[in-house]
Each structure stands twice: as C-alpha cells, then as structure tokens.
Structure 1
Amino acid sequence: MRLWQRTMIRLARSRTITDFMHASRLMRPFSSRFVGGGDAGQAVATAQELAGEGIAASLFYLGEYVDSEKLVRENVDALLKAIPAMAAAGLPLHVSVDPTQIGSVLSWSLCRENAFRLARAVAEVARGGSHPARPALMLDMEDAGVNRETLQLYFTLRENDLPAAVTIQSYLHRSLDDLRDLAAEGAFVRLVKGAFAESPAIAHTVRSARNASFKAAVDVLFSQRARERGVYPALGTHDHRMIDYAGMVAQANGWRRQDWEIEMLYGVRPGYQRRLVQQGFRVRLYLPFGRSWWPYSIRRVGETPRNLAFVLRSMAGAAG
C-alpha cells in the first residue's frame, strides 16, 4: 500500500501531469466526483444542498504545497470570500486549510499571518449572527515534516482566543501524546488515520497496527476526562468498523451524539453518509472547491485502490 500511496503522491505533485489532466476532457467527470464546485459560489450552493439532507460541510480551497506568494494570496482570498458566503447562506462556519497552501512552504511567519487572517474572519462573521455548530478554521495535517509547526500554529491561534481546530493523524507514533495535550485544553480535534507514506520510524505502516492506533486514539479522544474538558471530536474516517468502535466508546463514557461528529470526504460512500444521518449522527463533509482538482483527487485514489475504478469508469463514459 505504501508503494501505491507514493505513486499517487508523485502523480499529485507532478506539474506536467497536473496540467495535462486539467486540460483533459476525458477527466472532467472525475473532477466532479470529489469536488464541490469551481468557485466559492458553487461550493456554497453544494453545501446548501447537503444541508437540506442534514449534512454539514467544511469548505477547502484546492491548492497545496504552494511555493509562490501570488498563489498563496489567491488561496487566502478564495477562503476569505467563502466565509461570508457561508454565513449569508445560513451554513455552519467551518473551513479547512493546509498550512502549505497559505505560506508555510515560503515561511512559517507568512503562514501564521494568513492563518490569523482567516481565523479572525471566521470569528468576526460568527459574531455577526447566529450560526449552528462550532465555527472553526480547521488546520489540516499534512506530511510529518510539518506536524510540530502545525500544532504550534493551532496553540498560538487558541492562545489568541480564535476559533481554531486541528487534525491529528493516529498512525504517527507521537499522536497519543499530542491528543492528551489537546484533550487537556478542550480542543476541537479531527482524528484521521493518516494518508501519507511515512517511514516506519515515525508511523505505523501495517494495516492492523494503523487500525489499533486509531482505536487507541479514539480511547483518548472519547474518554470521560476529554468530555469533561469540553473536547469536541470529529471522527475523520469512512471505515464503518472505526465508526462503530467510536460510537461504542462514546456511549460508554457518556457522550451524546450531538457532542461529536463524523467527517467524511465529499463523493466517498454517499449512501453510508446518509444512513448515518438517519441514525442520528452528526455528519460533516470535507468539501473542496476550485480549479486545481487533480492533486487532491488523485490523492483520494491513493488512499484506496478501489477509487481507481471510478477514474476508469469516468474516462470510459466520457470517451463514449
């Protein structure tokens, strides 16, 4: 699986392949599978459709590992437009951001400056009206090389009383300690397994160990102490076994279903997402928008080879 992931990540980061795919008519159906629209207006319209089914959204502007100030500004401006548009539509104020898309490749000081701009925008719009759920700028967690700095950024935002949340990848060996620190301060945490091809020295790479590490992280995040400290967990997984396990731990420790949520990717297991809503769970979808759809979408294929079947069906349908 690690070889498959590395291959997909290389495809995602290849400028030549990215330009070719964006120009390909055959791949247009594939782009709409995982992407909620080309701009903020289309993404908000998609989010409104989801809200009509009882599903919340976290908007994410496509563009990662950005190494030019011009593109960083474009990324930040797109999210700054999306935030008030979500509020105007009566949607929960929740946007996700990769540190590498708002400046960390160039400098962490630039990244912090832009993260503060975005978090302040969320806070200011939230103060202007009544919005459901917790407003948040969710910091995505990328490869292990930026783990420490991303956590430091989260704590800096919270020290300034800004509505920040952070993603933790359970497969990293350090993650249980990070979760305990976050639980102690009542954090809003999105827990995911982790999708990067990391070294065994820093991450669990065998499937059974990755599943065990996720369950151990659930035990910390859904403990009675975490509930008492005001932790708000978001379970970022499509694995029904992990969701069932979290539900069991949550119920045993006194968590109500409105005290946590399940977050999935737009376009992945939509039928299951709706069944969870019918069962009374809070469900949020990670909803990307923008024109740079190839790197994000091919990384979804990298997470499971099963998604490759959809790529082939899309190409066959377009060719016909």
Structure 2
Amino acid sequence: MLSNLLLKAAESKKLERQISKNKLTRGLVSRFVAGVTLEEAIKATKELNKDGIDVSLDLLGESVFDLAESTRATDQYIETIEAIAEHVPGSTVSVKLSQLGIAVDVAACAKNLERLFEAGEQNGVVVEVDMEHSSVGRDTMDLFRKALPRYPQSRMAIQAALRSTPEDLETFTEVKPRLRLVKGAYDEPLHRAQQDRKEVTAQYLHLTRYVLANCPDPAFGTHDDICIDFAKQAAKDAGVDKKDYEFQMLYGVRRDLQKELVRDGYRVRVYLPFGTQWYPYLMRRMAERPANLLFFLRSLVGG
C-alpha cells in the first residue's frame, strides 16, 4: 500500500539525505513548511491571522537520543511560547514529547513538559501535545493526564486509527480534556491500529460525536469533507455553537477551504510547522493525501 511505503520512507535516513540535497524539492518544502526560523514562522502566522485564521506553531523535529538534546528542544519551545505572546497572541504551540525525551527518560520528559506548561501559563499561551507513534503513546497519555488538573487549558491530540483510543478516553475521569481529533499518520501494526481508510473514517465520525458530547472546546484535525460535514451536523444536533469548537488544518493544505470555513463563521486553526527537520513531517503528509504526493513528484521534475 502506497501510504504504508511512504510512512516507512519517513524513517529512512538514507532517503532523507538524498531528498534533502535535491534543490528541486524546495517548492514542496516552502508550500508545507512555514520556514526554517522562528522569525519566518511568526511572519507566516501574521499573514494567516489577517484572514481570521488562528495558528498552532510546531517546531519540527522528532525523537531525541540524549537528554541534552531534549533540553535544547525544550528551550526552543519556550522561546517559541515567548515569541507567540509578544507577536501573535492567540496562537498556540504544538509539542511532540519525543522531542522532550520521552523515549529516553520518561521522568526527564515530564520535567521538560512541566517547564513548557509553566511557560505557557505565564505567557498566556496554550500548549497542545501531539500524539505520536504508539510506542510512546501510552507514556504521552499518562503524562498529559497527570498534568491536566493543573493545566486544564492544555490540549492533546488523539488518533482515530488507534484501537485503544475509545478506551483511553474513558480514563479521563477527574478533568475532561480539550482534545484534537485526528485520523493518525504513523506506521502502526495491525493489532494496534486500523489500516483500512474507511474504517478509520468511521471511527473518526464515532469519536466526533463523543468529544462533542463529553469534552470542552474540541478541535477536529481533518481536511476530509466527509469528516468536516459530519462534525458540523453533529455539533448542530448536539446544540454546540460554531464558536465552541474548531477545525484544525495543515499549513499549505486546502487553503481555500480554510478561508471558506472562516467566512461561514467557524473557527479555524492552522498547524504551522517550521524548522530544518522537515523530512519525516512531509513524508507523513504525502501518506495522508495522494494530492500532496503528486505535488512532490512534480517538484522533482521541475514542474
């Protein structure tokens, strides 16, 4: 299956080196990545804000292999939080716990995450926790759940594809979390995640009703018209106002739809990646949408 091949390619360092050196891929990178520096990301955020679109900044980078790297990533996230507060208030920051060292030392990762939550609270910036591969998913869920009573404004992503997600949601008994529902974009074994796209979509629709009924201010991370239309109708059926939930989309994907939703009175937030470590991110984006792959192939031949 093409999407599975692309997800495996996301983990290939050899292929990453080859593609990163290809000058013809620059068009692809500039379409889906807001820039290399924080300054470029802030500039792109201001442009989106002009159209009434909110932003969640994502510092690109994934698993670190020593605690010094996780400390540097944490410091960079805090710098991003402070820049948001100064230049683009209302934006959030999305963090990956694999960058904070969750695969190296869970306790150290917890301390790094606490630093981010504290910085976010001090600066009035919401911290959103990404859900990554299931190998770190359980620890991610546990750390978020423990921090939630102290930082109830934080948000965590959940993946419809993972078989454990419905059961995991039932574990939030003390404080109901703010969630971002996504389909999932990681190479997972069959026993952990559904593989059929129709089944994943069906699970997404089921969870849409759940989060609207049980969780405050949910976010729906999707570009799928079926999922978007379903969320609109499900919210209407549940008596949830347009301003009490939001759609989240990726930078560079379905830009016209983002503006259309804003014109129709819906809240829209764009997940805006920046930084030098763009390769794994782009491979997963192509696995999600064949149109992104076609754009990539055209860039390789100079089209």
Same fold (TM over 0.5): yes
Give the whole-Å Cα distance in 1 for the aligned partners of 2:153 and 2:262.
26
Give the whole-Å Cα distance in 2 for the aligned partners of 1:250 and 1:304.
26
* Pairing 1:172-191 to 2, within 5 Å after superposition: 172-182=162-172, 185-191=175-181
Q: 2:45·2:88 contact (CA, 8 Å) conserved in 1? A: no
SS at match of 1:235: strand
Give yes or no for the alignment of 1:97 onto 2:87.
no
Q: 1:266·1:285 contact (CA, 8 Å) conserved in 2? A: yes
Q: What is the root-mean-square deviation in Å for CA atoms of aligned residues?
A: 1.8
Q: 1:61·1:288 contact (CA, 8 Å) conserved in 2? A: yes
> Using a 3 Å threshold, how does the CA distance of structure 1 residues 244 and 50 change in structure 2: closer, same or farther?
same
Q: 2:8·2:187 contact (CA, 8 Å) conserved in 1? A: no
Q: TM-score, normalised by structure 1?
A: 0.89
Aligned residue in 2 for 1:254: 239
**Aligned-pair distance for 1:162?**
6.1
Q: 1:40·1:78 contact (CA, 8 Å) conserved in 2? A: no
Give the whole-Å Cα distance in 2 for the aligned partners of 1:239 and 1:184.
32
Q: 1:170·1:191 contact (CA, 8 Å) conserved in 2? A: yes
Aligned residue in 2 for 1:15: 13
Q: 2:54·2:91 contact (CA, 8 Å) conserved in 1? A: no
Give the whole-Å Cα distance in 1 for the aligned partners of 2:10 and 2:76.
21
Give yes or no for the alignment of 1:148 onto 2:138.
yes
SS at match of 1:202: coil
Aligned residue in 1 for 2:218: 233
Aligned residue in 1 for 2:255: 270
Aligned residue in 2 for 1:132: none
Structure 2 counterpart of 1:21, one-letter code: I
Aligned residue in 1 for 2:182: 192
Give the whole-Å Cα distance in 2 for the aligned partners of 1:4 and 1:98.
26
SS at match of 1:205: coil
Aligned residue in 2 for 1:83: 81
* Pairing 1:100-249 to 2, within 5 Å after superposition: 100-126=98-124, 135-161=125-151, 163-182=153-172, 185-223=175-213, 226=214, 231-249=216-234
SS at match of 1:99: coil
Q: 2:78·2:119 contact (CA, 8 Å) conserved in 1? A: yes
Structure 2 counterpart of 1:269, one-letter code: R
> Using a 3 Å threshold, how does the CA distance of structure 1 residues 117 and 181 change in structure 2: closer, same or farther?
same
Give the whole-Å Cα distance in 1 for the aligned partners of 2:301 and 2:72.
34
Deviations 1:121-166 (A, max 9, x none): 110111xxxxxxxx42111111122221111111122133364211
SS at match of 1:216: helix
* Comparing 94-103 and 178-187, the one that deviates more: 178-187
> Using a 3 Å threshold, how does the CA distance of structure 1 residues 12 and 207 change in structure 2: closer, same or farther?
closer
Give the whole-Å Cα distance in 2 for the aligned partners of 1:184 and 1:302.
36
Give the whole-Å Cα distance in 1 for the aligned partners of 2:157 and 2:217.
12
Give the whole-Å Cα distance in 1 for the aligned partners of 2:302 and 2:53.
29
Q: 1:5·1:303 contact (CA, 8 Å) conserved in 2? A: yes
Give the whole-Å Cα distance in 1 for the aligned partners of 2:240 and 2:118.
30
**Aligned-pair distance for 1:10?**
2.7
Pairs aligned (count)? 303
* Structure 2 stretches lacking a partner, 5+ long: none
Give the whole-Å Cα distance in 1 for the aligned partners of 2:78 and 2:231.
34
**Aligned-pair distance for 1:184?**
6.8
Q: 2:95·2:127 contact (CA, 8 Å) conserved in 1? A: yes
Structure 2 counterpart of 1:92, one-letter code: G
Aligned residue in 2 for 1:306: 291
Q: 2:33·2:251 contact (CA, 8 Å) conserved in 1? A: yes
Aligned residue in 2 for 1:33: 31
Give the whole-Å Cα distance in 2 for the aligned partners of 1:82 and 1:90.
11
**Aligned-pair distance for 1:207?**
2.0
Deviations 1:3-58 (A, max 9, x none): 32332233222222223322321111111111111111110111111001000111
Aligned residue in 2 for 1:50: 48
Give the whole-Å Cα distance in 2 for the aligned partners of 1:164 and 1:282.
18
Amino-acid identity (%): 33
